[in-house]
Structure formats: structure tokens, C-alpha cells
Chains A and B, each alone.
Chain A
Amino acid sequence: MVICAVHVPESAEAAVDRLAGGGWVMGGGTVVMPLVNSGAAPVTELVSLRRAGLDGVEVRDGVATIGAAATFTTVGERPELAFLRPALRTIASPTICNQATVGGNLFVAQPYGDLAVCLLALDATCEIAGPDGRRDAPVAGVLASGVAAGEVVVAVRVVLPQPGTWYYHKAMRRRLNSAAIVTVASVTRADGGVVASTRIALGGVASRPVRAGSAERLLRGRPLTHEVLTEAGEAARGDIDPFDDAYASAWYRARVLPVHLRRAFLP
């Protein structure tokens, strides 16, 4: 449709007020503007978060609160979030990192949106503003069913992983910033040589980022060896619903999943 208005509210509350009139929320525009440019956006109004004061990152007591409009560059430049840098490089070029936002990435269609995969592995919490005030929701719920009409994700809260517990690996067609064939992100803590706790999130293998619950169950209490990880990767095939696209077939994604799940832990 033809765009009739682009609102640039100066606060989260003003953004929520604007949304009451309909339209789409826009973070950095990397997902919304391509649709606008091809005339395919199903809305006539856009509400940009670029000036809503949601672009900061705060870290306190081991918890990072990342504004929904914080760009990938902003995230990558925070020393406490440096563990995400390798993931960011696989998602977007430095140029797009200056535009793409953390909140926007939650609403990106697969096989893109690998920061959301990371946030799922981190078991992040979304802070959501709406006409009835603020609420928190687990990122898993937002990825599964979005937010209600009129609501805006204003921040994402992440408990920083302990050193040595963060794992990330992505199979793609080129070395930098490409769509996912298989993305694996995980917070896994080993104790006495065996896995004490683990969360594994997968990208590129379903219509949205998914937890590899089967693999997690299989890994608990066992060592991170080649054999155990392969077994876990094979089990994870039960957690996915892969698709064909220009990058890979569904068959291929399922076929290589165990390899890449293993490589996330044993490069």
C-alpha cells in the first residue's frame, strides 16, 4: 500500500499512542523498508522507534537491558556483550549492523533473525509496552506468537552467561552475513566434565527459532564428546520443522544439523 505517514515518536509511550491508530512498528527499517519500497507493506502508517529513546544498553549486576532500538553495532561495542560479536558478524554487514535493531530482529522471518536465536538460548525476557502499561514476557513466547496489536517490545533483558558457557555456530553459504542453513546458539555449563545445565536454540530449521529440547535432555549429565553431541544432534531432528529455500533444502538442513550442533561445541 502507499505509505501515508511515518511517525517518529520521541518516547516509548508516544510510540504506543501512535500505534493505537494502526500501522507497523519499525526499528532500523531493514525488514519493513524493503516491503515499503516494493509496495508490498500491508499498512499505510509506520511508527519508527529510531528516536524513542530505546537505543541504549544498560548492564547491572550481570543483567544486560538492551533497548529494542539498540543497533547491532551498539550491542557489539559493549564489552559485556562482546560474546555476541561473532554471532553479529554472521548476521549482518557492518553497514547493516548500524541499522538493524535488537527488537526488530525478534520479528524477522527465518532463515534470518539469528540474534533472536541467541536471545532464545539466553532465555531473554522482553519488556513490552502497551495501552495497558508494561509487562514482561519470555522471548520464547514473543518468538512463538508475537505481541498483541498495539504493543511494542521496548527492551530485552539478558542474564549474561558465565565465562566459558556461551556457544555459537552457524552454517551458511558464505563466511560473513548470510542467511542460516543451520544456526546453533547455546548456554551450556559443564560441571565435573559433564553437562550440568544447557539451553540450545536453533535457527534456519523451522519457521521460527526453536529450542532443541530433545538434545538438551540428552546432554544433561553427559560429557561434551563427539559421540554424545552427534547423538544429541540426531535427537534434535525431532525438534525441527525445516523448509526449502534458495539456500538449502529442508532435507539438507535436517541432514547436517547434527554436524553443526556438534561443531558449536567442538569446532
Chain B
Amino acid sequence: MTYRLAPIDTSTFTAERAAAGTGTDHTVIGSAVQRSDARGHVTGRTEFFEDVAPPRLAHLKMHRSARHHARIADVDLTEALAVPRVLRILTHADIPNNLFTPLKLIGVGPDDEPVLAVDKVRYLGEPICAVVAETEAAALEGAARIKVTYEDLPPVFDVEEALKEGAPLVNEYHGQNHFRYEGHHCRRIRFGDVEEAFARADHVFEWRYQSAPIEQAPVETTGCVVVPQADGRLRIHSDTQACFFTLDNTALILETPFNKLRIVGGTVGGGFGGKVDVVVEPVACVAAMLADRPVKFVYDRAEEMQVSSPRAAERIYIKDAVMNDGRIIGRKVTLYVDAGAYSRHSPYGTTKAAAHLPGPYAIPNVWADCHCVFTNRTPSSAMRGFGVTIADFALESQMDRIARALDLDPLRLRLLNAYRDGDLKAHRKVAEGTALVEVIQKVAEMAGHELPETYRRMSSTTREGL
């Protein structure tokens, strides 16, 4: 077995590499540079949030909804409060401003998610009460002994079912099962006339694509340790990917000035988008204030898998108007993002999906409706290119299927339709700095995939070969 110690692609940046040898500033490109955090990692000295152990640390565990959709008729804390070493149990009444969307600071509303459930639960695992105890075992036992009486409501788990007339209303803060974009029922693109394109196309292809939610599954679960300071401030050790989001949103929920909080973060044991929702810090801060001692709130593995927000499930319909030579003259996309019960970052993710359509192709007629839909599933949120990734899966699958249906080379089909500099995109932006043509040509070359001369001579900067 041969292996490369420090894999470096020496076939690129040859000029820079040569220059580096003659004493310019370009000394990094083409050389291996150690990660600045590696030594801490291999010696175990890197401090993750859970490595902080303040004296008198209390532990918070959540009692969560056992139902997908239900009214809360009663919450009985009696037995839980009797568990030895349980210090306190928080309910929604303890949270100063018991509402958030992580995007409120950029004007995305309405606030639609209680920090702790009030009179209703909207997904399995929604937090209802927070048990604070001197030991983790006591907190778990206390959480297990809380008794919640539910009045079941019909749940809805499918995006298209949720949008139908008469579907159960998931989220009353919105008043309907979709996010409203500046008065519109979805994010839309209208460019040219797709119906006219379908009418004159040689072929019309329509297929459906869908994906399941995908959990980021970081090895370090979501959590924080909050330490009350002598001056009344709270020091929050967190594994958030977004320290300032956390600071701002926590302050809004605590109804406290931002400068009363201090975040110690930046060391994240894997995030992948799953640690930007500001879910654990607000309630841990309230617990630390009320118990007047440091509090740790960290998800266990089951919580991380069940309730931390995954990549949204999506369903995408693509209908294309295609000519015999492979030119796509119209593309109609109906896309549904399953936000789960609450917004989190999904309204933004849906906008990203719309912004990504119709893919990197010059298509003169485009119509898209991108719906952000509420269902009784775990709220979904950010994960690595969310909005874009699943759309790409659908768009590129569509390209391959068209190629197969017309018996065309899939790379040539893409080269024929790839956008070039100067093309007007569906969002009325003129494309510039495009490089798809060259990327495909390079891929074909590396894969030993023969392209005819006309396709090899195509360029992103000219109309050659079109």
C-alpha cells in the first residue's frame, strides 16, 4: 500500500510555485502548512465547551414531547420535584421572552417557536420543561418523572398534504402551513414564458425527486456550560458555530442587554450547519440565573439524532422543454422544503434553493415556485449548502435522464446548455466569471471521456459551437 503523506496537487499553480522558489511572498501555495489547532488536538489540550468544569456545576435535562402534535392539557411536576438533588424545574413561564426565530435579527419573522412549549407541542421531542439538578442522573430522573397530559391533534408529515385545504394547522404563529415571502405564498421565479416553450418543444420531460432529512451527526453533541459571573454577567461556553447569533438571540430571549453576556466559543466538535440554531443557550442561561450556579445543558446522542435540526427533506418536480438537439428551452420547477414545525433557517434555505434554479444553465424560460412548508416533523435548518444541495441532486439527475432519453452524451448535453459570460440568468443578473464549460472539459479529459472537437473548443467567454 502506497500512501501520500501530504497530498498536494503539484499540477496546478505552477507559476506561483516557481515564483515561490525565487523569493516572492507566495510561499504558502503548494506547500503543506500545519493546522494551527492540530497540536492541541493531538495532545488533548484543545478546550471544548464540555471540558470546562466550574465548581457547583448543575445539570439540565429536558422533558420532551412524546407526541407529534397535541394540546398540552396538564403538566404535573410533583413527582419530579421530589427527586433528591433536583434543584428547580423551568417551564415556559420562566423564560422572559419565550419566542425565537434565529433569523429575527435580519428581519425574518414572525417569531414562531417557543423556547419551552406553552399550550401545544408541534413535533416529537419538542422541549416542554427543563429540569435542573445537582447531578446528571438526578436531572434525567426528574425529567422522566414529569407527567404531561396531552390532547392529541392530527399531525401532518407530508409537505403537499400540509398545503392542502383542510390540513391540520401546524404553527399558529404563521396562520397557515407555509412561510409567506413578502406577501407571496412562496419564493418565485418568473422568466420568459415556460408554457409557450412546452408548446413548441420537441420533448417535454417531467420527473419528481425527493430526499429524506439528513442529520449532521457531529461527534460532539450540541451543548453549553453557563457560568454566572461575579459582576452579574453570564459567561457562556458553547459549541455553537455562530457565536454572535448566539449572543444576540440569547440576549433577546433573556430580555437583557447584549453586554450582559459573554460567549466563549470557536471550538466546535463538528458542526456541519447543525450548531447554528441557538437552541440550548437561552434556557441554560435562565437556569443558571434562577439556580444561581453554573449550569450545563448538553444533548445526549438520542437528542442529537432526534431533535437537533437536520437538513430539510425536499420534494422537487422538474418539467423541461427540450429540443431534439438537446437544447433546453424551458424549465418549470416546483420545490417544497419541509421546514418541520418551525422556521429556524428554512425560510432562508428555501430562498437559497430558488436562487440556485434553474442550475448553471442558460435556459430562456424559467418558472419556479419554492415553498417553505410547516409539518409536524423535527424543525430542519442549516447543513452544508442547504437549499442548494438537494436542488443540485434533482437538477443533475434531471440532466442525466434527459440525456438518456434522447440518447445524448450527458457531458455534451451540459456543455450545450451551460451558461456563458453575458447570458441573462433567470434572476435578471448577467452571468460573469462562468467556468462550467472549462470544468466539464477538464473532467472529460481526466476521466478519459472523448469529446468531439466542436465541444473541446467551446468556451465560457465565447458563443463558439452554439
Contacts and interface: CB of A to CB of B under 8 A. Distances in A.
Nearest to A38: B300
A23 to B, nearest CB: 16
Main secondary structure of the interface of B (DSSP, over half): helix
A39 B135 CA distance: 12
Main secondary structure of the interface of A (DSSP, over half): loop
Contacts of B141: 1-2, 39
A44 to B, nearest CB: 10
Interface in B299-314: 300, 302
Contacts of A38: 140, 300, 302
Interface in A218-266: none
A39 B137 contact: yes
Contacts of A39: 61, 137, 140-141, 143-144
B138 interface: yes
Nearest to B84: A2
A1 B137 CA distance: 8
A3 B61 CA distance: 17
A39 B302 CA distance: 12
Name, among A1, A2, A37, A38, the residue most crowded by chain B CB atoms within 10 Å (CB to CB).
A2
A201 B61 CA distance: 42
A2 B138 contact: yes
Interface in B136-165: 137-138, 140-141, 143-144
Contacts of B137: 2-3, 39
Contacts of B302: 38
Interface string B337-348: 000000000000
Contacts of A2: 135, 137-138, 141
A38 B305 CA distance: 14
B407 to A, nearest CB: 34
Interface string A32-61: 000001110000000000000000000000
A159 B411 CA distance: 62
Nearest to A37: B300
Contacts of B143: 39
A39 B140 CA distance: 6
Nearest to B83: A2
Contacts of A37: 300
A2 B143 CA distance: 12
Nearest to A39: B140
B223 to A, nearest CB: 15
Interface in B278-308: 300, 302
Interface string B114-152: 000000000000000000000101101101100000000
Interface in A1-20: 1-3
A1 B138 CA distance: 9
Interface string B241-274: 0000000000000000000000000000000000
B51 to A, nearest CB: 19
A61 B356 CA distance: 72
Name, among A1, A37, A39, the residue most crowded by chain B CB atoms within 10 Å (CB to CB).
A39
Nearest to B303: A38
A58 B61 CA distance: 47
Contacts of A1: 141
A208 to B, nearest CB: 24
A250 B61 CA distance: 35
Interface string A97-141: 000000000000000000000000000000000000000000000
Contacts of B300: 37-38
Nearest to A34: B301
A39 B141 CA distance: 6
Nearest to A2: B137
A37 B140 CA distance: 9
A242 to B, nearest CB: 22
A39 B144 CA distance: 8
B355 to A, nearest CB: 34
Contacts of B135: 2
B295 to A, nearest CB: 18
A38 B138 CA distance: 11
A46 to B, nearest CB: 13
Interface string A162-174: 0000000000000
Contacts of B138: 2
A1 B83 CA distance: 11
B130 to A, nearest CB: 15
A110 to B, nearest CB: 20
A3 B141 CA distance: 10
A121 to B, nearest CB: 33
A265 to B, nearest CB: 32
A178 to B, nearest CB: 16
A3 B136 CA distance: 12
A41 to B, nearest CB: 10
A3 B140 CA distance: 12
A35 to B, nearest CB: 11
Nearest to A4: B137
B155 to A, nearest CB: 20
Interface string A130-163: 0000000000000000000000000000000000
16 contacts: A1-B141, A2-B135, A2-B137, A2-B138, A2-B141, A3-B137, A37-B300, A38-B140, A38-B300, A38-B302, A39-B61, A39-B137, A39-B140, A39-B141, A39-B143, A39-B144
Interface of A: 1-3, 37-39
The 3 nearest A-B residue pairs measured at CB: A39-B140, A2-B137, A2-B141
Given A2-B138, A2-B141, A39-B137, 13 more contacts: A1-B141, A2-B135, A2-B137, A3-B137, A37-B300, A38-B140, A38-B300, A38-B302, A39-B61, A39-B140, A39-B141, A39-B143, A39-B144
